Structure 1
Amino acid sequence: MNALMLAVALATHATPVSLEDARARSRDNVQALTAALQASSAEQDVRASRSSLLPQVRFSAGASLNYIGPQRSYNVVPVEGGGFQQLQIDTPEVRYPFFNLGVTVSQLLYDRAVWARLEQSGAQLEALRGEATEQQDTSELEGINRFYSLFRTQATIQVLEANVRRSEQQLERARALFQAGRVGKAEELSALVNLGNDRIAVVSRQSQLATDQARLSTWLAMPGAEAVEAVDPGVLTQAPAPAPSLEQALQEARTRRPLLVALRQRLRVAELQESIANAGYLPRFSLDAGYQRTGPEPSVFFGQPARQNRVNGGLSISWDLFNGFSTQAQARRAEYQSRVAELNLQQSERELEGSVRQSLVALQAQIVSAELAEANRKAAADALVLAEERFNAGVSSTLEVRDAQLKLTQAELTLLENRINVEIARFTLMRAMGTLAPGEAK
């Protein structure tokens, strides 16, 4: 009764989660959203880089009140007959306002470094987008693993519960045969002990069920205390689909794996850093224009627009003819970083090929194992039927039935494990190929 209450408590109000729901929710979990926000932040870096190429307009206006206290000064003035003398001058205090209005416009005409930074920020954005998609794939695969872990536990409990029912039936047969005087009391007691052990096995799995529920719900950004139930994806009733060829898998990986997209853009970022560094050898041109209006009196400043105006404009060039070999050092450093990015890309391509092949071989092996497990399950089921017939005929013992029963249960659990492993291996291969989400990568 306690075991039944525990099972009911775990199943009550459980929220059903399908495989597709788990995949979709995993692509929007915290890790994936964080990577997407970083990519969105890089979009603003592109706008900031572009701003340097647009006209820069500044407006300024102000008004002030100035006070000059009493002053004494000496001026040198000529005198009759020749010579000079110092004349003392005392001026009273004075207060006067001052107004100013100005507009300046500057437009960069040419600076190779600015254009290269704009290209670089675009490449950086594409790299972060690739990394965000890569993180989405990683999160999705983790969600798939957690979904199948929960489904495996649920299905395992169902297999063990079916074994309990078989043990109950065996106990009923043993009691009936004992009452008919065809077997001894030991057969009934043995069947009773077997039933108790099978019920213990079911109860022991309940804690694992709660663990798997919590792992899946928290990964999908659901309340950790919420019970969830993995909806049967139907894989146990279907034969595994064949694995793709190695050539097809490698071709898909080279063109669609988001990691490679990101690394190629990282290489582009490094190459553009070379252009930025080499821009130090080139001149920079800009155009400046300005308008300013100042005046000490409101009547003049506001009432006589034709006065107090000043307009200026000009074309400027700047060229670092020599800066202590700083440009050369920066260009060399950028060249080395570009080479590092290229080596990383080449190594990642090699590792990707190895990962794809490894995942493909693992999938092929799991498919073969699932086929063998299915054959074993059929043989174990036939063996149990035969053992039960022999027991009912009174020519065997509960021990023989129990052995066949345990072998069938083990065969069913092995088939379950291998069939789920086929699906996990398939999704792992899809992750390596970059085909988890349709239309990924370029």
Structure 2
Amino acid sequence: MKLNKVNIKIFLFLCFITTLSNAQNITLKEAYNLMLSKNGEAKASSFEVKAMEEEHKATKGLRLPTIGVSGTYMHLDNDITVDLNEERNMVGGLLSITNPADVLGDWNFELQEKNLGFATADISMPIFAGGKINAATKASEIKLAITETKHKIKEDELTINLINYFFKLKLAQEAVKLRQDVYNVILLHNDQANKLFKNGLIPEVETLNAKVALSNAKRELLGAEKDVELAKTAVKNLIGINSLEGLKSNFNKPTIVKSVEEFKEEMLTENNQLKTIEKNQELAGIGLKVEKSDYFPKVGISGTYILGTDNLPLVDTKWFVGLGVEWEIFNGFQREHKIKASKYKISQVEQFDKQARLNLSTYTEKLYNTMQKELEQYESLNADEEFAKKLKFMRTRAFEEGTGTSLEVVDATLKLSEIKIHKIKALCEYNIAYGELMVLTGKTRSFLNQN
């Protein structure tokens, strides 16, 4: 009985530890690492890379010989025989033998019994295939590189989503703090208004203004709290965790460290989508070489070693080797058309590359302009915040001295809170645009280390 109690305590303790480990306060970098290890799409993409690695290893086997063993056992309907009795009689006549059958015997020979079997070991190896083996090996290497780059693209897509969800959750949490501050200020103002009304210093209408403002502030606070829960769900689902308490990373302060042209140059040299297109160009070139290889002969060697026979008297050799050549002279112009098709594929990929570069340059400019716009907004809101703070202070003092109205205090409080919220929104949008730009230019780790 005591043992059972101990086990229950240990179990409850482990559950408590597990709950604590699941309920996390994480940085953006920690969220990124968790996502790569837990997200289903990221894991599926990594398995695709592993599968392609094995296929690449299999392709290398084309250069090696193929070795195998085989065995056959057969039952024929009759023995295989050769009847030479007529020839025997002719020979007997030439030799003046009166009864050839008695003298020369039966010339009906059995060559092969109807039950027979044999086993062999075989080896074959291509010597020359017109360049197809080299092309196949190179194509497999390129396909592996493409798969690895596609995996990076999938990670980039998930990372961009994570940055978006993460900072929107951060925005929602900051909005809750601001809404809570506004609610606390208006609650205090409401209490002051009620006291002043009871002392006959202000009319009842001023308390009504405070009550309406308090109700609105409460509603905005509850709405902001719901936004946090929704944003948390999005982050948890993307990362693949069960619980998320809060975020430890802060917004990067807006700043422009490079010109748009520098960002464009990095985009056109480091972007993974362009790297995939480049690899597809190489693959299309390999495809052209494969089609041209059909003009050349195929040469290979083969050998067989007879491991054993059963009732096979005609086979007296133990092994044999051979050299084979196959050369297709004409195949109905198939090769010519396939070569033209391969050339069109090369042209197709070139056009994809040209358009992708144009699209990425345009998108880089869009993200850069977003960063600039949010930087300007943030700097402008910084100045507005100072004025709003001063206005709120003056309106509150005027109300307390009886020279201002409750409506003016509420209005000043709300103006200050809206400026702060717009400021946080500018920070959020800047960080999302900056993060995406860094990811697309291959600087994910650098961005994560900044947070």
Superposed pair shares fold, TM > 0.5: yes
Q: Is structure 2 residue 398 aligned with structure 1 residue 390?
A: yes
- 2:64 counterpart letter in structure 1: L
**Cα offset, 1:91, TM superposition:** 11
1:126 Cα offset (Å):
0.9
The answer to whether the 8 A contact 2:79-2:113 is kept is no
Q: Percent identity?
A: 17
**8 A contact 1:19–1:147 mirrored in 2:** yes
Aligned: 1:248 with 2:262 = yes
TM-score by structure 2 length? 0.83
- Displacement of 1:172 in angstroms is 2.2
Task: Summarize deviations over 1:386-415 as a string: whole Å, max 9, x none.
Answer: 100111111011011011011011111111
Check conservation: 1:23, 1:140, Cα contact below 8 A: yes
CA distance in 2, matches of 1:74, 1:315: 37
Specify whether residues 339 and 128 from structure 1 end up closer, same or farther in structure 2 by C-alpha distance, changes over 3 A only: same
Query: Are the counterparts in 1 of residues 26 and 246 from structure 2 also a CA contact under 8 Å?
Result: yes
Residue 106, structure 1, aligned to residue 106, structure 2: no
Out of 325, 328, 337, the residue aligned to residue 320 of structure 1 is 328
Question: Which letter maps to 1:155?
Answer: E
Q: Which residue of structure 2 aligns with residue 370 of structure 1?
A: 378
Deviation at 1:16, TM superposition (A): 2.2
Number of the residue aligned with 1:9: none
Among 273, 276, 279, the residue aligned to 1:259: 273
How far, CA to CA, are the matches of 2:163 and 2:412 in structure 1? 34
Write the distance in 2 (CA, Å) between the matches of 1:250 and 1:350.
10
Aligned equivalent of 2:360, options 345, 352, 365: 352
Contact 1:267 1:338 in 2 (8 A): yes
Match of 2:145 among 126, 144, 166: 126
Q: Partners in 2 of 1:319 and 1:89 — Cα distance?
A: 47
List runs of 5+ in structure 2 lacking aligned partners: 1-21
Distance 2:431 2:93 in 1: 117
Q: TM-score, normalised by structure 1?
A: 0.84
Deviation digits for residues 409-437 of structure 1 (CA, Å, limit 9, x no counterpart): 11111111111111111112113323224
User: 2:254, 2:347 → 1: CA distance?
Assistant: 44
CA shift for structure 1 position 76: 4.5
* Amino acid in structure 2 at the alignment position of 1:425: A
Contact 1:356 1:433 in 2 (8 A): no
Counterpart residue identity of residue 25, structure 1:
L
Q: Which residue of 1 aligns with 2:157?
A: 138
Query: Equivalent of 1:190, from 209, 230, 238?
Result: 209
Match of 2:282 in 1: 268
TM-superposed CA distance for 1:199, in Å, is 0.9
Specify the SS of the correspondent of 2:318.
strand
Q: Residue type matched to 1:26 in 2?
A: M
Q: Which residue of 1 aligns with 2:31?
A: 22
| Equivalent residue in structure 2 for 1:202, among 191, 199, 221 | 221
Quote the Cα distance in structure 2 between the aligned partners of 1:277 and 1:70. Answer: 50
CA distance in 2, matches of 1:174, 1:14: 42
Please show how residues 201-240 of structure 1 align to structure 2 within 5 Å. Answer: 201-223=220-242, 226=243, 228-235=244-251, 239-240=253-254
Given that 1:182 and 1:394 are in contact with CA atoms closer than 8 Å, whether structure 2 keeps it comes out as yes
How many pairs were matched up? 413
Q: What is the rounded CA distance, in whole Å, between the counterparts of 1:52 and 1:239 in structure 2?
A: 56
What corresponds to 1:281 in structure 2? 295
- Residues 376/253 of structure 1: CA separation in 2 closer, same or farther (3 Å cut): same
Cα distance in 1 for residues equivalent to 2:136 and 2:334: 19
Instruction: Please name the residue that 1:57 is paired with.
Output: 67
3-state SS of the aligned residue for 2:444? coil
**Which string of whole-angstrom CA distances, capped at 9 and with x for unpartnered residues, describes residues 165-217 of structure 1?**
10111112212322332212332232123212211211123332222121111
- Cα distance, 1:50–1:328 mapped onto 2, change above 3 Å: same
Equivalent pair of 1:160/1:202 in contact (CA under 8 Å): yes
Does the residue aligned with 1:322 lie in a helix, a strand or coil? coil
Offset of 1:381 from its aligned partner? 1.3
2-structure distance, mates of 1:106, 1:127: 32
1:154 equivalent to 2:173? Answer yes
- 1:163, 1:405 within 8 Å by CA — same for their partners in 2? yes
Report the more deviating stretch, 173-182 or 129-138: 173-182
> For the Cα contact (< 8 Å) 2:31–2:239, is it kept in 1?
yes
Q: Which amino acid aligns with 1:288?
A: S
1:43 aligns with 2:53: yes
Q: Which amino acid aligns with 1:260?
A: L
Alignment equivalent of 2:425, drawn from 408, 417, 426: 417
Q: Which residue of 2 aligns with 1:336?
A: 344
Residue matched to 1:304: none
Once the two structures are TM-superposed, the CA of residue 73 in structure 1 deviates from its matched residue by 9.8
Alignment partner of 1:432 is 2:440: yes
Deviation at 1:287, TM superposition (A): 1.9
After TM superposition, the structure 1 stretch with the greater mean CA deviation from structure 2, 166-175 or 136-145, is 166-175
> Alignment partner for residue 380 of structure 1, among 380, 383, 388?
388
Distance 1:289 1:73, change over 3 A: closer
The residue number in structure 2 matching 1:8 is none
Identify, as 1 or 2, the structure richer in helix: 2
The DSSP-based 3-state class of the residue aligned with 1:108 is strand
Q: Once the two structures are superposed, what CA deviation does each residue of 1:308-329 show, in whole Å capped at 9, x if it has no partner?
A: 5421112222221222211111
- Distance between the aligned counterparts of 2:306 and 2:424, measured in 1? 83
Once residues 137 and 171 of structure 1 are traced to their aligned partners in structure 2, the CA distance between those partners, rounded to angstroms, is 50
Comparing 209-218 and 95-104, the one that deviates more = 95-104
Query: Secondary structure of the residue that 1:52 maps to in structure 2?
Result: helix
